[in-house]
A and B are shown apart, each in its own frame.
Chain A
Amino acid sequence: MSERITKSMARNIYFGGSLFFFLFLVGLTVDTMSQLPERDNRDQITESVALGKEVWEHNNCIGCHSLMGEGAYYAPELANVFNRRGNSDEKTFKQYLSIWMSIQPLQNPGRRKMPQFNLTEEEVNGLADFLIWTSRIDDNDWPPNIEG
């Protein structure tokens, strides 16, 4: 094969191919941007959701957990924790999360540990709102089951 392809042909495949597929990627991105508002429910991003994302980031939650399957694999998936631990009910989930965050770290020897982050009530509430909003993103029905 390689004998029939000259260096200048190879160069043209490189320049032409990568330019074409980069433009294709940009086009797909533009299309995706036009479809996302329907799928991410951005109209429901409240100040509390925004605060929750800041809490999520400022405590490096992604360093142990995954969110929509991305992050670390040391601790449970949290994009559907609202459904798993809150039974898809906002009040139940907020109560659960508030207690859960306050009793960390758990004292089971050998179990993976979550640090105590000393979050305020408002921060825990924001974190809950952020996770509730995240659970409603249209992510093509991932994960396969409630365990995440």
Chain B
Amino acid sequence: MKYESQQVAKPYFIFALALFAGQIIFGLLMGMQYIDGDTLFPYIPFNVARMVHTNLLIVWLLFGFMGAAFYLIPEEAETELYSPKLAMITFWVFAAAGVATILGYLLVPYAELAHLTRNALWPTMGREFLEQPTITKLGIVVVVLAFIFNIGMTVLRGRKTVINLILITGLIGLAVFFLFAFYNPTNLVLDKFFWWWVVHLWVEGVWELIMGAILAFVLVKITGVDREYIEKWLYLIIALALISGLVGMGHHYYWIGPPEYWLWLGSFFSALEPIPFFMMMLYAFDVIRKRRINPNNRIATTWALGTATMAFLGAGVWGFLHTLAPVNYYTHGTQITAAHGHLAFFGAYAMIVMTIISYAMPILRGREDGNPPEAQKVERIAFWLMCISMFGITLALTAAGVWQVALQRIPETGATGFIDTQTQIIPVYWIRLVFGVMFAMGVVAYFASFFIAGKSDSKTA
């Protein structure tokens, strides 16, 4: 570790992973509810489990991004963090707000939570992924502003690298577009139109900048390849991500009220969205092939190649599968969407966070040369278990989606109803659940890898 203040990244990473474990538990519960609708009903109805599952995902990724920024910004800027104390305050405020919100979801009926938090005064609740009470949303804004101030001052004070500037641009974009979460008009069409300015412009926009910057940083560190070369690729990748992704938002505007020209624009631009992910994969493999150093932390390389590959499959290939308007007409809002969502979020965002953790955490724990081989071996098993089972989940959900489309969407007359269709698909949901359990085993192995000490540890410590 080059700068003492990079240590503040550690609690962010640990807390992110704790929330990740929670996310998986609620994922398994929903996997059960898809098969047996009585599971834990009425104690944890499906909508509550889903809200906890998706909100935990968003919050743990944000913790991961923040941890990544606190780790890499000082190192890139070649100066200590502006205020480690502020970083710890934002950590505790964000953690407390996050835990309180999740407990609110679980302990009181949602309508009661809306009432308690005075949602009627400034209604923002009850929309997918933006279910947080308005007060929590305001808290998120305060935390993110304090965070950006902190890293922004650090960058201003220190060396300005491309990686730093792109990371901070992505984070500022994240903060700016989140403000659309506060706009919830009575007109559902306007509500939906600008809801996507948070959701799409996050995951298919500024988050790609964050992912690109983190990946570039790790590649610089683990390969020793010339920074100029990596930064040039980074520019090209995020350029194409935004050129395709901004108007690519049109693929969400097909069937929710906006005019027909979005069918053409959305299809054309979102068909280009796989290109930056394909380039990211090519470049990750290319840079690794050109590596000049071969650090003992080998598993970090595996994660870097893994996230680039899985992001291309999940966001690129599975996104393209249903993005063209004539296809999306039949697949919109089916299990195909769920398949894409799972592989894309895991491949691009969960895995980039685990990539930086795999690289940085050993250093933060005083293992400058990476984790001992015994720990890396377990982490490698966890990596493959998680990747293979998430791919299995995706294939199962894709099969479920195709089946659903065939029964429920394609027939013009005599189509099977929603619930009957879902009942017929249950065998596939069993397969999905089996892969879900396998994924959870991967998470257990992953956590275990942090506690494995090497033979050499006691001697060199």
Contact = CB atoms under 8 A, between A and B. Distances in A.
Nearest to A133: B188
Given A58-B110, A113-B37, A70 B256 contact: yes
Contacts of A53: 186, 188
Nearest to A134: B188
A105 B41 contact: yes
A43 to B, nearest CB: 11
B42 A7 contact: no
A50 B333 CA distance: 25
Given A42-B187, A72-B46, A113 B246 contact: no
Contact of B235 (A10, A75, A133, A143): A10
A124 to B, nearest CB: 14
A63 B48 contact: yes
Interface string A23-43: 011001101100110011010
Contact of A111 (B37, B50, B329, B412): B37
Contact of A7 (B41, B232, B254): B232
Contacts of A143: 255, 332, 409
A73 interface: yes
Contacts of A57: 114, 119, 123, 125-127, 184
B431 interface: no
A74 B51 CA distance: 13
A136 to B, nearest CB: 11
Interface string B219-244: 00000000010011101101110110
Contacts of A31: 259
Contact of A71 (B128, B246, B259): B128
A68 B256 contact: yes
Nearest to A16: B239
B445 interface: no
B46 A63 contact: yes
B243 to A, nearest CB: 4
| Residue of A40, A71, A117, A146 most packed against chain B (CB within 10 A) | A40
Contacts of A7: 228, 231-232, 235
Nearest to B413: A145
A72 B186 contact: no
B46 A5 contact: no
Contacts of B47: 60-64, 72, 74
B127 A62 contact: yes
Contact of A113 (B38, B228, B254, B411): B38
Contact of A109 (B38, B51, B334): B38
A103 to B, nearest CB: 15
Interface string B336-371: 011000000000000000000000000000000000
A122 interface: no
B80 interface: no
B35 to A, nearest CB: 8
B286 to A, nearest CB: 9
A6 B232 contact: yes
Interface string B403-432: 000001111110111110010000000000
Nearest to B227: A7
Contact of B242 (A11, A21, A69, A146): A21
11 contacts: A7-B232, A24-B246, A28-B265, A40-B190, A70-B128, A73-B335, A73-B337, A77-B333, A111-B37, A139-B257, A148-B418
Given A18-B242, A39-B257, 20 more contacts: A10-B233, A14-B235, A21-B242, A28-B247, A40-B187, A42-B187, A57-B123, A60-B126, A63-B50, A67-B188, A68-B256, A72-B50, A76-B418, A110-B37, A111-B419, A112-B422, A130-B188, A139-B256, A140-B254, A148-B418
* The 9 residue pairs across chains A and B that have the minimum distance between CB atoms: A63-B47, A57-B126, A69-B333, A142-B255, A10-B235, A112-B37, A14-B239, A18-B242, A76-B418
